[in-house]
Chain A
Amino acid sequence: MKQRKLYRIFLIAGIVIAGFFLISGSFYTYWSVASPQKTCLSCHEINPSFNTWEASAHRDISCFECHGTALSNGLHSLKEKSGMVFTHMKTDVASENLRMTELQLLQTMERCKNCHESEFTNWKSGGHSAGYADIFLHETHNKTEQLNGDCLRCHGMFYEKTTADLVDPISQQGPWKLIEPEKTRQPVIPCMACHQIHAPGETVRQPDFANPNNIFYARNLTKNSVGFYSRHEKKHFQLEQLPRPDMVLFGDTVQTPADPVYRLCVQCHAPSVWHEVGTSDDHTPVGVHQGISCNACHEPHSNNQRNSCDKCHSDVSKNCRLDVRTMNTTYANPASSNDIHFVGCVNCHPDQKKKSN
């Protein structure tokens, strides 16, 4: 009798398990091959994301190329994805509140590499790929400035918790350590700090070869997919939406670069609240390079500025008839007092006050 009962339990359990695999298996296959209108879009919350994707530069790329399928990262990801659905059922969040976790975002970023390898490696070679440990365990910085919540505005903008959950102790003494060791190498400025993917964009098309001159006129002025992620607002600001600051130098208004990319850089490489050039981390060019945008000299992603001078200067400079690369500036010598961002004619020609700049 007892044996029969046990057998029955096993049988039922077996059917249930087999049924589960059958259901989830076919569901999974369906999910992976069907068009997004039939899978991802099924939940009305995703609808806005679908619409923005459909108008974006990535409209020919399936959701799962970036977000992965439910099983692509093992059970962990499955749990998180169903977590997304569960939040919805429990609290009926409006779609505007649907957001990925930092971990999901970093996993998504790993997939950018598959298609944008050169941008990825350039980013990796520059200062913007610093990890949590580089920024938050920096001896000199921490000894001179108390760690605080605002740090996360410019590094770690997708971190969901507070600085106190990240570093211990919050003091100027140290020694400091990261509370979650897995954050050590995680990047504090991932691609999405400067890029919004679900944003209007154009796919690449081939030009009209019959009329080469029109190729120029078909080009766009700016890229919508470049934008700044505001931790405070939990959203991206496209370049055009970013403010162009009113900058001053010793009381005089400074002409800032018209290039919208400058507005992105100055969000982090920012002046003090008085907007005085050169204060805090500001690099707004004044002097001989006033009005010239950051990315005229700095390449995007790598920030590399090594080969930039030749783009504008020929063998000898226009005014001084010297090789700009060997003149006494920080470009030639980091110890020079003539910072390439700020140097003016008067710095090198003190007797000829204000020659032109």
Chain B
Amino acid sequence: MNITRRKFIQSLSLASGSLLLFPACGGSQKSVWRFLTTEEAETIIALAEQIIPGDQDPGATDAGVINFIDKQLVGFYSNFQETYRNGIAALNQYCHEKFSQPFEKLEWNRQTEVLKLMEKNSIEGEYWKENPASRFFRMIRDHSMQGFYGSPRHGGNRDYVSYKMIRIDFPHIIGQNRYASRCETLNAFAK
């Protein structure tokens, strides 16, 4: 059903030259994400899934934690942009040197081991000398939790999966503060 933008613009120009009205609709996008590249996103998805793995309950991937992180990186967390970009690059450089694969391609247990190294700040690499890996780990952990347990308004917790998991009614069912109990029938029950 989709028509290409080019084709549309052509037909629009034919109609009246009203291109004027849509100057902002051009431009192409490389990644589906706002800040991250496709490759960076793959790595973060794997990292977050390690922190909150899906089992009988949904995990970070089901909850769309990646969407939270990416959305916040162009908003409230834009000061973390560089930390993410460089940290992911350094992590994948390590994985390539050791295992010839990016982080997300490693086996589950191996990923866990790499994360443990990061947490203990004992992962090898030039970059990590200046920028403690433990700090990077904590950042990913915190952001994953926020994306998983926070409101979907902020980009994560898709379909309120975590609220459902911990049985929070959402939207909350809470009445207004009624000044008087209106129910005599139930008061009679109480006696």
Task: Write the residues of chain A forming the contact surface with B, with a CB cutoff of 8 angstroms.
Answer: 22-27, 30, 34, 37-38, 41-44, 54, 82, 85, 88-89, 92, 94, 144-145, 150-151, 154, 228, 230, 232-234, 237, 241-243, 245, 249-250, 266-267, 269-273, 275, 277-282, 286-287, 337-339, 341-344, 346-347
Contact = CB atoms under 8 A, between A and B. Distances in A.
Contacts of A338: 185
Contacts of B185: 278, 287, 337-339, 341-343, 347
B76 interface: no
A277 B186 CA distance: 8
Contacts of B5: 42, 44
Interface string B59-97: 000000000000100000000000000000000000000
Contacts of A233: 151-153, 171
* Ranked 6 nearest A-B pairs via Cβ: A280-B175, A270-B175, A243-B169, A26-B16, A278-B183, A27-B18
Interface string B158-176: 0110000000011101111
B126 interface: no
29 contacts: A23-B17, A24-B18, A30-B16, A37-B1, A37-B3, A38-B3, A38-B11, A44-B5, A82-B21, A85-B21, A85-B24, A94-B34, A144-B179, A145-B176, A233-B153, A237-B171, A241-B159, A242-B171, A249-B186, A249-B189, A250-B190, A267-B173, A270-B176, A272-B174, A279-B181, A281-B178, A342-B183, A347-B188, A347-B189
B170 A243 contact: yes
A100 B86 CA distance: 40
Contacts of A41: 3, 8
Interface residues of B, number: 44
Interface string B6-43: 00110110011110111111000000001000000000
A26 B15 contact: yes
A150 B176 CA distance: 8
A42 B22 contact: yes
Nearest to B169: A243
B109 interface: no
A154 B176 contact: yes
A230 B17 CA distance: 41
Contacts of B189: 249-250, 344, 346-347
Contact of A89 (B23, B179, B190): B23
Contacts of A151: 176
A290 to B, nearest CB: 13
A30 B12 CA distance: 9
Given A27-B16, A233-B151, A338-B185, A275 B21 contact: no
Nearest to B164: A243
Contacts of A250: 189-190
Nearest to A23: B16
B175 A271 contact: yes
A234 B153 contact: yes
A78 to B, nearest CB: 11
B24 A89 contact: yes
B150 to A, nearest CB: 12
Contacts of B56: none
Contacts of A23: 16-18, 20
